[in-house]
Structure 1
Amino acid sequence: MEEGTPLTLSLKFFEHKKIFFGDFESDSELDHNFQVSDESVEVMVQREGEHLPREDYLKNLRSGESNMSVVRKQALDWILKAHTYFGFGAWSFFLCVNYFDRFLSISKLPRGINWFTQLLATACFQIAAKMGETKVPQYARLHVGSPKFIFEALTIQRMELLVLNTLEWKMQAITPCSFIGYFISKITCEKHQMKSSLSKSMKLMLSISTCIDFLEFRASEIAAAVAISVTRELEAKEIHKALSSLAMVKKERVLKCLELMKDMSVVKVSGNLFTNESVF
């Protein structure tokens, strides 16, 4: 991916805008994020499969079925604008995207109903705000970013209920935010570097969140790849050294995620990651 492409511009946007970091500003929140126990992380790795879109979702997006990839991009563009407007945290953003993808993967979009996707995005946004934010916007304030359609509060509430029922009320989703602080603390022990790396990690994870190719990976795999990319010199030997500290993730999957980030010019990696070094 060359300079000036949407993904590159997205990363630059996050580098220059202080948004989405309400959940990670205070020292106490940072310390809590870094001090998650090994046992808790192992449980999250085991549970993250419960909060994934259907296995054929990425295939359907890539095939262009029902124009889903365009629909998803438009919805996530609006979600991004809404989160920026309200200054919400990174966790609620990832929750919102997770809800949207899971719903879209198991429910066919009604044909000829242009407003449905926007209503779905609005409902997912509101549910995520209730899960991850201290202040939830009033329904009348949700019409940000010059949307094409305006919905009444009752309509949004009904859509929220449909989303909750469709997702079987499994709303405490595991996201990359669940792992990132822990992985950074495993790779580096210097507290000042941890805080700086956490901020960089959030920007990087947010910048790649709208790219469908990363739906191939689980939250833990994305978080591990991002943690390595912001804390290490990205030479193969340094990457394999970092991977040795992250025993609970599949190393070949993290390497594949790093390769994708490299291919999309999100990070620069020196050499071939898939070496014959004994790391697996």
Structure 2
Amino acid sequence: MVPSGYDCAASVLLCAEDNAAILGLDDDEDDCSWAAAAGSATPPRVAADAAAAAEGFLVDHPVQSDECVAALVATEKEHMPADGYPQMLLRRAGALDLAAVRRDAIDWIWKVIEHFNFAPLTAVLSVNYLDRFLSVYPLPEGKAWVTQLLAVACLSLASKMEETYVPLPVDLQVVEATSAFEGKTIKRMELLVLSTLKWRMQAVTACSFIDYFLRKFNDHDAPSMLAFSRSTDLILSTAKGADFLVFRPSEIAASVALAAFGERNTSVVERATTTCKYINKERVLRCYELIQDKIAMGTIVLKSAGSSMFSVPQSPIVSNELWARAALIIEAVNENDPKRDRLRYRTVYICSDEL
């Protein structure tokens, strides 16, 4: 629901077209034409290096209160994919492999994110929009181009939400774009995504909680940029992995923060399990274990993994203190009422004016 103060502004963005018309699914193949076109020049990058992006991702925010985090936890479910989505990814629906659709879309989004040096939050939001859309909107079979169009639209919307320099939607199609779309086609797909997601684009993600948990687990001090960087790597990896869709953003953020600071110790894990009350203790620790397993298998690769700067405490006493502090924080916050308030040559897909 858009706040009343924004009713007028939102009304000018409403579109009377139905979903089929936006995607062009009510048109025959003959209504669309294919033409070859040369790629346009690459726009300038928006950041000098990844460290600056990570800093903007986690530092440029005021310290969150327990009440603020409790309110975010109370609303995070509204910004998650529909129930049953992880199971949908495990089974094929006819000729449509939804897991492959998701994987291909995210792989392309990641390449474009790297090309433009977009902020990590832009990547996380893009995947959030993608997952929420796929969980409620059935994609047509036999139209592989819809996957790329959806990826472009989700990334375009996320960049408009977070980036200071926003390339034109058509200019996002710079990496391995076997087919490219006109601006009006992308815009209509954006409208479909917006309406499907009920215009809830300021999503609650793991990024919404990570600074809170990092500070709390660090005696309320701002963690080093090394910890920020490691947390960024972990959040991006969990956003990409379908295995983490069963967890809530707050659970992922708490697990990432623990992984950034702590070490794996069975007795410590059991101790934390008995005292965590803020968010489901079993789920937080299960998510933490999954992160550790992925790191051990090499599925999640931290850029800092080989750096001595990221060494974790080897003393079990220090590690126990960390877990105990985390457990106390989780228990304390629970006391708050959660209900309070470009390619050289590419194919260009040109849709008819009737879309």
Q: Same fold (TM over 0.5)?
A: yes
The one-letter amino acid of 2:206's match is P
SS of the equivalent of 2:179 reads coil
Answer yes or no: is 1:52 the counterpart of 2:52.
no
Q: Which moved more, 1:242-251 or 1:72-81?
A: 242-251
Q: How has the CA–CA distance of structure 1 residues 207 and 180 changed in structure 2, closer, same or farther, with 3 Å as cutoff?
A: same
Q: How has the CA–CA distance of structure 1 residues 236 and 185 changed in structure 2, closer, same or farther, with 3 Å as cutoff?
A: farther
Answer yes or no: is 1:99 the counterpart of 2:96.
no
Deviations 1:166-215 (A, max 9, x none): 11101111111111110011111274644321211001111232211110
Give the Cα–Cα distance (whole angstroms) in 2 for the partners of residues 237 and 178 of structure 1. 30
* Aligned residue in 2 for 1:121: 151
Is the CA contact (8 Å cut-off) linking 1:20 and 1:83 kept in structure 2? no
The one-letter amino acid of 1:124's match is C
* Aligned residue in 2 for 1:30: 59
SS of the equivalent of 1:150 reads strand
The one-letter amino acid of 1:139's match is P
The one-letter amino acid of 1:41's match is V
Give the Cα–Cα distance (whole angstroms) in 2 for the partners of residues 229 and 21 of structure 1. 22
Shift of residue 247 of structure 1? 4.8
* Aligned residue in 1 for 2:348: none
Shift of residue 64 of structure 1? 3.0
Give the Cα–Cα distance (whole angstroms) in 2 for the partners of residues 113 and 103 of structure 1. 17
Is the CA contact (8 Å cut-off) linking 1:20 and 1:90 kept in structure 2? no
- For normalisation by structure 2, the TM-score amounts to 0.65
Task: Name whichever structure is richer in strand by fraction.
Answer: 2
Is the CA contact (8 Å cut-off) linking 2:54 and 2:228 kept in structure 1? no
Q: How has the CA–CA distance of structure 1 residues 192 and 44 changed in structure 2, closer, same or farther, with 3 Å as cutoff?
A: closer
SS of the equivalent of 2:192 reads helix
The one-letter amino acid of 2:278's match is M
* Aligned residue in 1 for 2:17: none
* Aligned residue in 2 for 1:219: 249
The counterpart of 2:208, out of the listed 178, 199, 221, is 178
Give the Cα–Cα distance (whole angstroms) in 2 for the partners of residues 95 and 20 of structure 1. 19
* Aligned residue in 2 for 1:6: none
Structure 1: segments with no counterpart, 5+ residues: 1-17, 271-276
- For normalisation by structure 1, the TM-score amounts to 0.82
The one-letter amino acid of 2:82's match is R
Identity %: 42
SS of the equivalent of 2:181 reads coil
SS of the equivalent of 1:225 reads helix
Query: In angstroms, what is the RMSD of aligned CA positions?
Result: 3.0
The one-letter amino acid of 2:266's match is A
Give the Cα–Cα distance (whole angstroms) in 1 for the partners of residues 272 and 158 of structure 2. 33
- Structure 2 matches for 1:6-155, cutoff 5 A? 19=50, 22=53, 24-25=55-56, 30=59, 32=61, 35-65=63-93, 66-155=96-185
Give the Cα–Cα distance (whole angstroms) in 2 for the partners of residues 91 and 156 of structure 1. 21
Give the Cα–Cα distance (whole angstroms) in 2 for the partners of residues 187 and 112 of structure 1. 49
Give the Cα–Cα distance (whole angstroms) in 1 for the partners of residues 184 and 51 of structure 2. 28
Structure 2: segments with no counterpart, 5+ residues: 1-48, 306-313, 315-323, 332-355
Give the Cα–Cα distance (whole angstroms) in 2 for the partners of residues 36 and 258 of structure 1. 23
Higher Cα radius of gyration: 2
Shift of residue 32 of structure 1? 2.5
| Number of aligned residue pairs | 255
* Aligned residue in 2 for 1:14: none
Shift of residue 244 of structure 1? 8.6
* Aligned residue in 2 for 1:256: 286
Give the Cα–Cα distance (whole angstroms) in 2 for the partners of residues 250 and 125 of structure 1. 32
Shift of residue 250 of structure 1? 1.5
Give the Cα–Cα distance (whole angstroms) in 1 for the partners of residues 103 and 200 of structure 2. 24
Deviations 1:229-279 (A, max 9, x none): 1111222344466779975322111011112223322599x9xxxxxx9x7
* Aligned residue in 2 for 1:200: 230
Deviations 1:105-146 (A, max 9, x none): 101111111100100110010100111111111133111212
SS of the equivalent of 1:170 reads coil
Q: How has the CA–CA distance of structure 1 residues 147 and 201 changed in structure 2, closer, same or farther, with 3 Å as cutoff?
A: same
The one-letter amino acid of 1:56's match is G
SS of the equivalent of 1:45 reads helix
Shift of residue 93 of structure 1? 1.0
Q: How has the CA–CA distance of structure 1 residues 214 and 91 changed in structure 2, closer, same or farther, with 3 Å as cutoff?
A: same
Is the CA contact (8 Å cut-off) linking 1:201 and 1:230 kept in structure 2? yes
Deviations 1:25-82 (A, max 9, x none): 49xx62636x111111111111100011111111010123320001110000000011
